[in-house]
Amino acid sequence: MAGYQRFALLSVCVLASWPVQAPGQAATDSGPVLRLRAFVLATAPEISARRSAVDAARARVRAAGGATPGTVTLDVDEVPGGDVAAAQSLGAAFSWDLFTGGRRTLRRAVADRDAQEAVVQLRLAERRLSARAEQLLIHLVASTGIARRLTAEDSLLAAAEEGLQARFAVGQARYVDVLRLRAERLRVQSDAESALSDISSRRRAVVALVSAEHAAALEVLLDSTLVVELTDPFRRPLVAAPDLDSLVAVSAPALLAEVAFDRATAARRLAGAERRVSVATSLGVRRFGERGQFDIGPTLGLSIALPFTAPAGPSGQLRAATHDVEMARAMREVESRRARAELGAARDRYEAARRRLAVFESALLRGAADEREAALAAYRSGELSLLELIDFERALSRAEITRLQTLIEAADAFATLQGVAP
């Protein structure tokens, strides 16, 4: 039984040191992202609550399996005329459990499994919160980049519209071109408003991760992070996804199903122990005699409980506990298969996004952006038609925005790998 306790203690120690991230690194190793994650984990009320739950569960482990309290018994027999002092038999005894059949150790083992679950829930919450903070920050940076790119596109189209209006005033441009340019600006402005709305909602979601007293500090951290990341949004290549087996092994469903199986197994052992014989003993003194002549002597008692004689009590509990173990074993297999399917799909999405991001050449995008002013000047001089200008700007904007949207898709897929609900 001591070996069983050592194994339980080792399991808790391993889970207590279990890393926040699943195998592999974060989606990006950006310094601001890492600082934001650390701040959120240090100030999130959910993590504080989970740590309190772990402390409570460990306290229950220490309390479980303790010795049952002793019992003091007083008895009086044959009291003439209600005079207790003249009672022919007067005794006092102290009784305690002598042998419990290993029940105390097994009760502690069941409580230990509850503590394991609390630790796993804490680590899963830390991982989810860390991944959620990273996901929201990437959303925020990418949406801000998209809004800025659309604003720049609208600015170029506005400059083109000024030139077109001047040419239209002297009869050198068609009114249909004016309408076409205005329609294009309306599309761009509508997309920019959508991006701004997304920025607002993502920022609120990030701030909601921490407690109210730390919200202002997080706002400052977000502003400084945006200043850094918007200079060149996440140009570093994303890390490769961990292999599927590693992801499944530390997924929330697999870990919780494993803990549930361990607890059911421990509960079955306890149910079996409840059918064993238990022995209690007592030690005391007794006064006995009559007509004022009394003798005093020690008493020693022994009682043996025979739970297996009960028709349905402990035996029924053992059968129920056995069924619980079988159910937990089946659910462990089900959750493992389900996690493999869901994580496999998320991993495929993440790797596909990584491959798409690799297509975008930073130097090419910057070179195309440098041609914007030249294209606008060529349009004003009549060397470039309105349709060519609009097509050029739309293609460049679409390429940059697609890259940022792909980054968002990668962040969402990676968050799913870390346990964040899609």
Average pLDDT over residues 268-290: 82
Residues in the chain, total = 422
Angstrom distance (rounded) from CA 265 to CA 98: 26
Tell which wins on pLDDT, 377 or 397.
397
Of the given ranges (55-69, 188-202, 223-237), which has the lowest mean pLDDT? 223-237
Residue 398: pLDDT above 60?
yes
The secondary structure element, H or E, covering residue 174 is: none
Which of 284, 302, 375 lies closest to 89, judged by CA? 284
Please say whether the beta carbons of 79 and 87 come within 8 A.
Answer: yes
Query: How do the domains of the chain map onto residue ranges?
Result: 2-70+111-280+319-417
Angstrom distance (rounded) from CA 325 to CA 262: 8
Angstrom distance (rounded) from CA 44 to CA 34: 15
Helix 31-43 with 215-229: angle, nearest 10 deg: 170
Of the given ranges (33-47, 287-301, 362-376), which has the lowest mean pLDDT? 362-376
> Given the DSSP bridges, would you call strands 89-99 and 71-77 parallel, antiparallel or unpaired?
antiparallel
Of the given ranges (84-88, 148-152, 258-262), which has the lowest mean pLDDT? 84-88
Residue 21: pLDDT above 60?
no
CATH architecture under which domain 2-70+111-280+319-417 falls: Up-down Bundle (1.20)
Residue 14, pLDDT score: 35
| Start-end of H helices in 21-102 | 31-43, 45-63
Please say whether the beta carbons of 383 and 210 come within 8 A.
Answer: no
Provide the sign of the torsion angle of the four alpha carbons 385, 391, 396, 397, taken in this order. Answer: positive
In degrees and rounded to multiples of 5, residue 73 shows phi and psi of -120, 130
pTM of the model: 0.75
- Cα dihedral value 190, 193, 194, 200, nearest 10: 180
